[in-house]
Amino acid sequence: ILITHHFPSELLFFFYAFLPLHPLTAREQLPDHFSMQTNDPVRQKKPVMPGGVSELENLEDAEFRSSLAAAVSKQNAAIEIIKIISAKTQVVAGLKYIVEFEGRVRPSDQVHNYILSYVMQPWISKEPQYVEFNTKS
């Protein structure tokens, strides 16, 4: 602790009198209800790095499905989603989705794997922004 010479000695005594004599352990610092051990499945998830990419766990989420359909139709309305292979999210200036899916092109019925990324910014627009759409080789 750095203390400058501007403090009178009485204040220094007062300050040091309330410092603990030993460092507190992590258990002493946090009450029991702040324990990191829990049976709650939401809190048992691996820590996520802010701004990092994470797996989207609920591929059946209505909001995700709706935004995915809007992004696909914005890019190519002739593609029908057959199966979602993987979906990831990343917090950017909004929520970025990176989705790999199997799709069928109408009317030819050709099936391809696609990678689609888009950003949802509901405070700007309800439509997907910054859509990138590629066929996976």
Higher pLDDT, 115 or 30: 115
pTM as predicted = 0.63
* Alpha-carbon span 125 to 129, nearest angstrom: 8
pLDDT tier at 34, thresholds 50, 70, 90: very low
- In CATH, the architecture of 53-135 is Roll (3.10)
Q: What is the pLDDT of residue 66?
A: 94
pLDDT tier at 18, thresholds 50, 70, 90: low
* Residue 113 predicted with pLDDT over 90: yes
Q: What is the pLDDT of residue 26?
A: 47
pLDDT tier at 106, thresholds 50, 70, 90: confident
Instruction: Report the chain's mean pLDDT, rounded to a whole number.
Output: 78
- Domain locations in the chain as residue ranges: 53-135
Phi-psi region of 73 (alpha: psi -120 to 50; beta: other; left: phi over 0): alpha
**pLDDT tens-digit readout, 43-80:** 555 666 778 899 998 999 999 999 999 999 988 888 99
CA atoms within 13 A of residue 4's CA, in its CB half-sphere: 1
Q: What is the pLDDT of residue 49?
A: 73
DSSP 89-107: EEEESEEEEEEEEEEEETT
For the chain, give the percent of residues with pLDDT over 90: 49
